[in-house]
């Protein structure tokens, strides 16, 4: 698949993930959970716009990482999946160790897991399909001149 097709599919994965995370957020709010996020000295209320930003930005970065790994010649999607799994596990430390109510921790951790699974299950399958140009070596570039 071309990079344009990759971004179209990655965009679908990211959009679906935003929808799921917003659903988690809205269900929690409807259930009366006060959703706070640790920011500096004291937690601040989580707004829907931040749910979108905190979902989109990491997944776009994951998609860029996938393309970079392909471009530098990494052949195995297991490398990308491994990085995504480690980032997911590390990201869970923030909500799970914060001084927040258990219900708050559950909501935040759930949204982290949704985003992590999107990278693992939604982006990883695109790894082998995307075609990216390989950088030409200096020897190859001068030999062709």
127 lies in some domain: yes
Whether residue 139 lies inside any domain: the answer is no
Nearest to 116 by CA among 90, 77, 78, 79: 90
Would the pLDDT of 128 be above 50? yes
Number of Cβ within 10 Å of residue 88's Cβ equals 17
This prediction has a pTM of: 0.84
Please report whether residue 142 resides in a domain.
no
Q: What is the pLDDT of residues 11-51, one digit of tens each?
A: 999 999 999 999 999 999 999 999 999 887 888 999 999 99
Count of structural domains, the chain: 1
Helix (H, G, I), strand (E, B) or coil at 37: strand
Mean pLDDT of 132-144: 55
Put residue 45 in one of left, alpha, beta given phi > 0 → left and psi -120 to 50 → alpha: beta
Domain of residue 38 covers 3-131
pLDDT on residue 65: 92
Which 8-state DSSP code applies to residue 136?
Answer: P
pLDDT classification of 138: cutoffs 50, 70, 90: low
Does some domain include residue 72? yes
């Amino acid at each position: 698949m071309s990079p344009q097709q990759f971004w179209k599919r990655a965009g679908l994965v990211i959009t679906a993930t935003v929808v799921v995370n917003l659903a988690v957020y809205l269900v929690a709010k409807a259930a009366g959970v006060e959703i706070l996020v640790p920011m500096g000295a004291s937690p601040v209320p989580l707004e829907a716009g931040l749910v979108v930003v905190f979902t989109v930005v990491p997944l776009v970065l994951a998609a860029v990482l996938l393309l970079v790994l392909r471009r530098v010649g990494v052949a195995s999607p297991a490398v990308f999946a491994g990085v995504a799994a480690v980032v997911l596990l590390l990201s869970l430390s923030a909500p799970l160790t914060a001084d927040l109510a258990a219900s708050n921790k559950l909501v935040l951790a759930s949204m982290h897991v949704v985003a992590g699974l999107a990278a693992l299950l939604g982006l990883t399958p695109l790894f082998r399909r995307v075609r990216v140009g390989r950088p030409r070596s200096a020897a190859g570039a001068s030999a062709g001149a």
